Every structure is written in C-alpha cells, then in structure tokens.
Structure 1
Amino acid sequence: MDVKLLVVVAALTVVIYAPSSQAKPISLVERCYCRSTVNSVPRGYIRELRFIHTPNCPFQVIAKLKSSKEVCVNPEVRWLQLYLKNALNKMKKSKQGN
C-alpha cells in the first residue's frame, strides 16, 4: 500500500471519529447579546442583574425580571449608574475592612 494513501486514510479516520466540538461558529460568538436596550424598567420588577463585557461589544446589562423575561438595560440610565457606584463603594469598604 502506498504511504501517501495510508496517511490520507489515517487522517480521514481521525477526522471522522474525533469527538465533535461544542464550540459555536465564530459568527455566533462575535455577536453582542444586547442588540437594543430599554431605558425604563421599574426596579421593583427586576429579580437580578447580569453584566457582560466582551471585547467586541459595549458594556451590556441584562435584567432578569420577576416574570422570567430578560431585557437589556441601557447602562447609561441614572439609577443603574448609581447602583454600580454604590456597589463599587461597598466593595472598596469591605476590602479596607479586611
């Protein structure tokens, strides 16, 4: 048997039987989660906030509402800016106390 043919058959065998990757295609990885944001979400409706910062997207804030719906909140909203400022101050105080 020719060595080149043997190499090709071995390479094809590895490709066919190798476990498939769970990675997403690059076009899906590069997309930003928040394509549009809302400015007014009553704070009483929010169950939790999630912050996402990726290299190709602006700072993103996702609010999970008590109805289990998720909305993207504009990070420039005044109440959110105050929330973040207070959270950073609490973190600084807790580090100074340790």
Structure 2
Amino acid sequence: MIEDVLGVYKKNREMMRFVVGDNCPTNKAIATRLKVPLIGCASHRFNLAVCEYLTEYEDLIAEVQALCIQLRHPNNSAALASFTGLKPLKANVTR
C-alpha cells in the first residue's frame, strides 16, 4: 500500500530515509517493516512536555474549566455578554 501512495508522487521506497509520527505501535511497525528510523513528531513531543508541565496546575485548570462550563449556560452566557464579547471555551482532550 505504501508503494501505491509513493507512486502517486513518483517516489519509491528507496527514497524514504525515515518516517515521522508519534510513537504509536502502528507507526513503529511501519518504520520497522520499511527498515527506516521512526522520527518522533515535534508537535507531539511538545504537547507531551506541556502536559507534564501543567500537571502542577491541574486543580486550578479544573476549576477554570468548571467555571467556563457554567458560563456557557444561556442565562450565564447572557450576563457574561454584557461585560465582554469573549465566550468561554471548553477544553478539548487530545490523545
């Protein structure tokens, strides 16, 4: 399958020097089968580092998240709108 994708771009497996991705088992298996190194994704490593740093602030972040959820309710949202055009956001969980 990888050869088909490479063919679209007029490339071949011999041109591959490495695979970039997170360290999930699938990416490791692909890199192993292709006999090239797996280079960890910089944005994924950065996200892991930020998450580790933020563990110290988990309680505060949880309180702010709870407040943002309350501010999203219609009555609270209307009151907030009288002070600012900003809207509270709920955090999205990434893997």
TM-score (norm 1): 0.29
TM-score (norm. length: structure 2): 0.29
**Higher RCO (C-alpha under 8 Å, 6+ residues apart):** 1
More strand by share: 1
The structure with more radius of gyration? 1
User: Which protein has the bigger helix share?
Assistant: 2
